[in-house]
């Protein structure tokens, strides 16, 4: 769940508070970050979300402080992203999310991996659309011996996998295809409506 506050149209900045379920600690967590939309060199729209405090002045020979180069060096411990900014050293840990796809239903965001092994590929949906999505139920024929055996085999983990996969197929096709094309099939699917409501 993501909520927006402190919107500044001049700086194209806002604060995003995200809440998620941590599968390792099995607890709900939240984080608030300042986000600013910026453009890459020779790019027509803002396709980059910079995490951190917004910059009130952006000047450079190229007309923008965000002259990003998609070069990164990978070693056994991870990757370091190289890009030159007018207020930072050339080599820094990433603090950006790149907008890969955006329409009225969703935003597909991606962060590149750095030496701390941090990366993400995120699927943001409009909350009002998500409210209309219902988690599919496991369909079995009641009363039959075969049904009872299947229910025994259908443990909690496989049930969740079934529900996640079924839910993913219900998402808007344009968003789903954009996610698959850019990110591959989701490896961490954190959506269990009943569990989230209990938390």
Within-domain flag for 113: yes
Full pLDDT tens readout for the chain, 199 residues: 778 888 888 777 888 887 777 777 888 888 787 777 766 656 666 666 666 666 654 433 344 444 444 445 555 555 555 544 444 454 444 456 777 788 888 888 877 554 455 567 788 887 777 676 665 554 444 444 554 554 454 455 555 555 667 777 878 889 888 888 877 777 655 555 565 566 5
Within-domain flag for 106: yes
Q: Work out how many domains the chain is built from and give that number.
A: 1
Within-domain flag for 142: no
Within-domain flag for 29: yes
CA angle 50, 106, 126 (to 5 degrees): 100
pLDDT value, residue 99? 78
- Cβ proximity of 83 and 91 under 8 Å: no
| Helix or strand run (H / E) with residue 147 | helix 145-153
Q: How far is Cα of residue 181 from the mean position of the Cα atoms in its chain?
A: 15
Range of the domain at 46: 2-126
Within-domain flag for 167: no
Within-domain flag for 116: yes
pLDDT value, residue 61? 39
- As given in the structure block, the two tokens for residue 167 are 């839910």
Within-domain flag for 53: yes
Residues 6 or more apart whose CB falls under 8 angstroms from that of 171 comprise 106, 123, 125, 133
Instruction: Output the pTM of the full model.
Output: 0.50
pLDDT value, residue 137? 54
Within-domain flag for 18: yes
């Amino acid at each position: 769940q993501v909520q927006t506050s402190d919107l500044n149209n001049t700086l194209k900045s806002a604060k995003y508070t995200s809440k998620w379920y941590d599968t390792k600690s099995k607890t709900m967590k939240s984080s608030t970050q300042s986000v600013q939309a910026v453009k890459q060199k020779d790019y027509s729209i803002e396709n980059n979300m910079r995490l951190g405090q917004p910059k009130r002045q952006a000047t450079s020979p190229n007309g923008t402080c965000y002259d990003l180069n998609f070069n990164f060096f990978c070693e056994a411990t991870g990757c370091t992203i190289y890009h030159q900014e007018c207020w930072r050293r050339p080599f820094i840990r990433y603090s950006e999310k790149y907008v890969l796809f955006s329409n009225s239903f969703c935003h597909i965001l991606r962060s590149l991996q750095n030496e701390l092994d941090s990366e993400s590929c995120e699927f943001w949906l409009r909350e009002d659309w998500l409210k209309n999505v219902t988690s599919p139920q496991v369909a079995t024929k009641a009363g039959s011996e075969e049904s009872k055996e299947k229910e025994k085999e259908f443990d909690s983990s496989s049930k969740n996998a079934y529900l996640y996969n079924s839910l993913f197929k219900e998402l808007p096709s344009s968003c789903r295809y954009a996610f698959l094309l850019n990110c591959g099939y989701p490896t961490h699917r954190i959506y269990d409506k009943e569990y989230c409501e209990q938390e």
